[in-house]
Structure 1
Amino acid sequence: MNKIIIHSEYIKLDTFLKLSNCVSTGGMAKALIQEGMISVNGELEERRGRKLYPGDIVKVTDEGTFEVTKES
């Protein structure tokens, strides 16, 4: 599992996908989400603006599993 460090209280899903290098643009993030290729904490997620907090687990089909972590 890859850990992605955030420097704020939360991060939006589309921004997270760019930070984790799963996509390079917001449009690509939107398409990935609409195609049902993203799950958060084991549940399918369809909201681009979903807020992710430290401890959340994001699974991206064909890319891997990522954990949101807070900077120490």
Structure 2
Amino acid sequence: METVTITTAFLTLGQLLKEVGVIDSGGAAKFYLAEQTVLVNGEPDQRRGRKLYPGDVIALEDGQQFTVAIAE
């Protein structure tokens, strides 16, 4: 599982996908989420604006997993 560190209160699902290199641009998030299954804390979610907070776990269809952590 890979850790994504944030310096703000939250990160959106679209921003996370771009940050980890799954998509090239924020606009691609809508299409990616429509075609791929993404689990946020074990539940499917297709909202690119979904707010992710420290401790959230994101799992992609290809087996990649990410957890959100706050920078110290």
Q: Does 1:61 align with 2:64?
A: no
Following superposition, the deviation at residue 40 of structure 1 comes to 0.1
- Structure 1 counterpart of 2:14: 14
Residues 63, 31 of structure 1: CA spacing in aligned structure 2 closer, same or farther, 3 A cutoff? farther
Give a deviation string over 1:44-66, Cα, whole Å, max 9, x none: 00111000000000011125000
Following superposition, the deviation at residue 36 of structure 1 comes to 4.0
Following superposition, the deviation at residue 33 of structure 1 comes to 0.9
Cα RMSD (Å): 1.2
* Structure 1 runs not aligned, ≥5 long: none
When normalised by structure 1's length, the TM-score is 0.91
Identity among equivalent positions (%) equals: 38
Check the 8 A contact 1:4/1:66 in 2, yes or no: yes
What secondary structure is seen at the aligned counterpart in 2 of 1:39?
strand
Following superposition, the deviation at residue 28 of structure 1 comes to 2.3
> Which letter does structure 1 place at the counterpart of 2:65?
T
C-alpha distance in 2 between matches for 1:3 and 1:46: 21
How many residues were matched structurally? 72
- Structure 1: 4+ residue segments shifted above 2 A: none
When normalised by structure 2's length, the TM-score is 0.91
Check the 8 A contact 1:36/1:44 in 2, yes or no: no
What secondary structure is seen at the aligned counterpart in 2 of 1:15?
helix
